[in-house]
C-alpha cells in the first residue's frame, strides 16, 4: 500500500516522464494536458518500474531514452492520448491549417478526360 506522499511523488514523477515522452507542440497538447495522469497510473500501479518512481528525487537527465517505460506504457499512452477529445480537436485544427492553401479541382472536370475514353469492359 502506498502512502499518500509516495503516491504524490509517483504521480508527479510519472507526469514528468509522460510529458517528456509527449511534450506537445504548436498544435498538439502535451500528454498531461490531454489525459489525466491517474488513468495511466492506476492501470500500472503494481508495476515495479512504476513503484520505483515513488522516490522523491529522480535524475531525469540519466533517463535519456524511454525504452523501459515505452515497453510497459506505449499502447496505453498512445491509445489514451489520441482518443482524448482535446487531441482530436487539436489534430483537426492542425489538418485544417495544413490544408489551408491547398486547392482541389472539381471532380467532374477531372473526369471529362476519362468519360471520353472508349469502353474498356468486354461483353
Partner 1 sequence: MKKETADILIIGAGASGSAAAWNLSKLNLKIVCMDQGPFIDKKEYSFNNKNREIYKLGKFNIDPNQRKFNSDYPINSNNSPISIANYNAVGGSTLIYSGHYPRFHPSDFKTKKIDKVGSNWLFNYYDLEKYYNLNDKMVGVSGMTGDPAYPKIKNLLPPLDIGYSGDIIAKAFNKLGWHWWPSYAALRKSKKYKKGIRPTAVEIYLNKAIKNGVIVKPNSRVLKIKLSKNKIATGVIYSNSKKERKFLKASIIILASNGIGTPRILLNSRNKDFPNGLANNSGQLGKNLMLHPLGFVEGHFDKYLGSDEGPEGCSIYSHEFYETKKNRNFKRGYTIQLLKAPGPIETFHYLKKFNRIKFGNFFFKNLFDYFGRTVPMAIICEDTPSRNNFIQLDNKNKDSDGLPGIKINYKISENTKKMLSHGINQCKKLLKTAGAKKITAFGPVKNTGWHLVGTAKMGSSKKNSVVNKFGQCHEIKNIFIVDSSIFPSSSGVNIASTVQAVSLMISDYIKKNFKKLIKKNA
Binding site for partner 1 (CB under 8 A): 20-25, 28, 65-66, 70, 77-79, 82-83, 88, 91, 94-95, 98-99, 102, 104-105, 107, 110-111, 113-115, 117-123
Which is nearer to partner 1, 7 or 63 (by Cβ)? 63
Considering only CA atoms, which of 15, 26, 27 is closest in space to residue 77?
15
67-82 vs 4-21: helix crossing angle, rounded to 10: 80
CB of 84 to partner 1, least distance (A): 9
| Smallest gap from residue 24 Cβ to partner 1 (A) | 8
Joined together, the cell numbers standing for residue 54 give: 515513488
Per DSSP, the chain holds a count of helices (H) and strands (E) of 7, 0
**Of the two residues 25 and 47, which places its CB atom closer to partner 1 in the complex?**
25
Which residue in the block uniquely carries the three cell numbers 502535451? 30
> What is d(CA 123, CA 115) in angstroms, rounded to the nearest whole number?
19
Output the smallest distance, CB 31 to partner 1, in A. 10
Least Å distance between CB 5 and partner 1?
28
C-alpha cell at position 121: 469492359
Element (H, E) at 57: none
Residue among 8 and 60 whose Cβ is closer to partner 1 = 60
Q: Which is nearer to partner 1, 3 or 113 (CB)?
A: 113
Amino acid at each position: 500500500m502506498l502512502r499518500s506522499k509516495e503516491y504524490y511523488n509517483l504521480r508527479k514523477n510519472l507526469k514528468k516522464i509522460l510529458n517528456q515522452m509527449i511534450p506537445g507542440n504548436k498544435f498538439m497538447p502535451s500528454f498531461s494536458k490531454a489525459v489525466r495522469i491517474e488513468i495511466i497510473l492506476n492501470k500500472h500501479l503494481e508495476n515495479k518500474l512504476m513503484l520505483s518512481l515513488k522516490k522523491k528525487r529522480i535524475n531525469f537527465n540519466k533517463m535519456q531514452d524511454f525504452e523501459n517505460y515505452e515497453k510497459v506504457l506505449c499502447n496505453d499512452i498512445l491509445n489514451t492520448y489520441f482518443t482524448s477529445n482535446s487531441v482530436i480537436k487539436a489534430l483537426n485544427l492542425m489538418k485544417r491549417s495544413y490544408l489551408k492553401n491547398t486547392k482541389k479541382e472539381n471532380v467532374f472536370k477531372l473526369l471529362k478526360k476519362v468519360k471520353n475514353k472508349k469502353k474498356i469492359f468486354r461483353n
